[in-house]
Structure 1
Amino acid sequence: MNAPGTPRRWTPTPLIGGAAAVHAGALASLLAAPATWPWAAGGVIASHLALTAAGLWPRSALLGHNWTTLPEAAGARIAITIDDGPDPDVTPRVLDLLDAHRARATFFCIGERARAYPRIVEAIVARGHAVENHSQRHRHNFSLMGPGAMRREIDAAQTTLGDIAGVAPLFFRAPAGLRNPFLEPVLCALGLHLASWTRRGFDTRTGDASLVARRLLHGFAARDILLVHDGHAAKDREGAPVVLAALDTVLRAAADRGLATVTLREAIVG
């Protein structure tokens, strides 16, 4: 596999190749015997349903390579990944928490939010963390975009984040983890690699930090990629972002088990 940052040739996965074959076979069948159209249509519909299901499964590799755990060479290390920021209230407090634990994290930032709060992005990098691509606008219809619109959205974030952070992102995470078959060819052309997670805490929906921490620690092990949020963070009854207490619990558990933290680019690129 090419290193992140290097454009590479796109190779269809078996699912995508199979779907293309179904479409070609359906067309040939219609040309040879028009009466077979119900079977042809059924095959095409089934292939589209399979592609859609794969896109709705964030941890799937059916549409292209997807980092869901760190490589074996990472050893006794884990990756904390933090999405949807920067946020002027939450992100600085997350950075202080990471400093207190001497931990490093990967921040998947939204381009427009980075443009609004560039000093926070600069602080993320200055304090030893990595900034990666979470799209320019975090559109809810991202997984419905065609290849041109998808590339413009991702490339805009590459430019925005690269200009502010001083180094271009190497990894991309789709909004909500949802995607379609057009994403992998776009990432190949831009030299980006898709990264999802081993498990997530659902800390944008749950106002109970202990529950968020339990989700993250269920089956907790070396090489995990954990997902929390500094943007759109849910708050507890006292109004505190649950990510703070949940992340504190996770980092204490990691230290107890002798697991160090590492950014994705450190673990995967080296």
Structure 2
Amino acid sequence: MSSTPPRPLSGAHAMPAAPGSVRRWKPSPFITGAAALHVGAAAAVALQPALWPWAVGGVVASHLTLTAAGLWPRSRLLGLNWTTLPASAGRQIALTIDDGPDPEVTPQVLDLLDRYNARATFFCIGDIARHHPHCVEAIVARGHAVENHSQRHRHNFSLLGPGALEREIAAAQQTLTEISGVRPLFFRAPAGLRNPFLEPVLCRLGLHLASWTRRGFDTRTRDAAVVTQRLLRGLAPRDILLVHDGHPARDARNRPVVLDVLPAVLEAASTAHLRCTTLRAAIAPGVGQDGEDDGARTLFATMDR
């Protein structure tokens, strides 16, 4: 990523309400086009049955394209997706930490964040949070944000229908709100994979999808230096970085690599005069802990323009 030309707001579509508020789903142009193609294919076959091979081919191509969009975590073709912070964030970056909490790793991560006076966003899994509520409570008590990473982190998450998606995400909302006392405002799909049914569900639940600018692949790579290089290559204001406190890769000493990656990243951010903040502080600064909108609508209304 380059810090040279100014980057646009990361949301692709209008958001009349700030995070935490139920909003009306507005299909993306990509979704609208796919729907129009299906209607057109049906009409073509009705008027001229001999065109059925072309109609079927168009529908199949449309489905393949929709699938590809869902397999691209940073894609905005299916709807709103925060891949960078808004321009108003200035020289801030967001450090996001997924798949926890972990009773061994999360406390050490919190200590590192305290050492550098950095704030982070923890995308927590509901079932794991239930088993380790003290970790979630510590995250909030030490000034960080807890957001929704689904209830069970199902590997087939992107294959679920709208009802199953809503149950999975709503269960995590309830779990994390009960434990932390703060209602999540953002959602991150397991592995970043999703389907066209997700955005309408998030609208109903008052959540917004957030992915990342770059990730370290620290659940697979056992070399902390390699992970660090991936995260710092082109580091720029408004970046969203992804690491993991849950299921982290471990080096030859059996030490979670994230514990060596974080100091290097935080040192580099400090040297570059970049401040680590939470997604909710940067994207929805007017939304209180209970999710009520105290003035953040102005920021989101700009996405209409």
Question: TM-score, normalization: structure 1?
Answer: 0.99
Match of 2:216 in 1: 201
Tell me what 1:21 maps to: 36
Match 2:64 to one of 38, 49, 64: 49
What's the secondary structure of 2:155's corresponding residue?
coil
- In the alignment, the residues of structure 2 paired with residue 32 and residue 148 of structure 1 have an alpha-carbon distance, to the nearest angstrom, of 35
Pairwise CA distance, 1:30: 1.5
Aligned equivalent of 1:123, options 132, 138, 163: 138
Choose the corresponding residue for 1:244, options 259, 265, 283: 259
In structure 1, the residue matched to 2:291 is: none
1:34, distance to aligned residue in structure 2 (A): 1.5
* 2:188 alignment partner AA: R
User: Hey, what does 2:177 align to over in structure 1?
Assistant: 162
2:173 is the alignment partner of 1:180: no
1:254 aligns with 2:269: yes
Which consecutive unaligned segments of at least 5 residues does structure 1 have? none
Q: Give the whole-Å Cα distance in 2 for the aligned partners of 1:114 and 1:209.
A: 26
Correspondent of 2:225 among 192, 210, 232: 210
1:4 is paired with a residue of what secondary structure?
coil
Aligned-partner residue type, residue 122 of structure 1: E
Residue 234 (structure 2) pairs with residue 219 (structure 1): yes
Identity, % of aligned positions: 72
- After TM superposition, give the deviation of residue 153 of structure 1 in Å: 0.3
Out of 36, 39, 58, the residue aligned to residue 51 of structure 2 is 36
Match runs of 1:10-159 below 5 Å: 10-159=25-174
Report the residue type matching 1:159 in the other structure: Q
Query: How many pairs are equivalent?
Result: 270
CA-to-partner distance for each residue in 1:27-52, whole Å, 9 max, x for gaps?
Answer: 11121121111000000001001101
Query: C-alpha deviations, 1:235-265, integer Å up to 9, x for none?
Result: 0111110001111100000011111110000
Distance in 1, Cα, partners of 2:165 & 2:123: 17
Q: Could you tell me which amino acid in structure 1 is paired with residue 140 of structure 2?
A: V
Paired AA for residue 239 in structure 1: N
Q: CA deviation at 1:196?
A: 0.2
Deviation string, structure 1 residues 67-118 (Cα, Å, up to 9, x no partner): 0000011111110000000011111110111111111100000000000000
Q: Secondary structure at the match of 2:143?
A: coil
Q: 1:154, CA displacement in angstroms?
A: 0.2
List, as ranges, runs of 4+ consecutive aligned residues in structure 1 with deviation greater than 3 Å.
Answer: none
Counterpart Cα distance in 1 of 2:150 and 2:256: 23
One-letter amino acid of the counterpart of residue 267, structure 1: A
TM-score by length of 2: 0.88
* 1:119-154 Cα shifts (integer Å, max 9, x gaps): 100000000000000000000000000000000000
| SS across alignment from 2:99 | strand
User: 1:191: how far off?
Assistant: 0.6
TM-superposition CA deviations, 1:4-61 (whole Å, max 9, x none): 0011111111111111011101111121121111000000001001101100000000
CA–CA separation in structure 2 for the residues paired with 1:23 and 1:221:
41
Name which of structure 1's ranges 126-135 and 32-41 shifts more when overlaid on structure 2: 32-41
RMSD: 0.5
Residue identity opposite 1:265 in structure 2: R
Structure 2: runs of 5+ lacking an equivalent: 1-14, 286-305
* Alignment-mate amino acid for residue 26 of structure 1: A
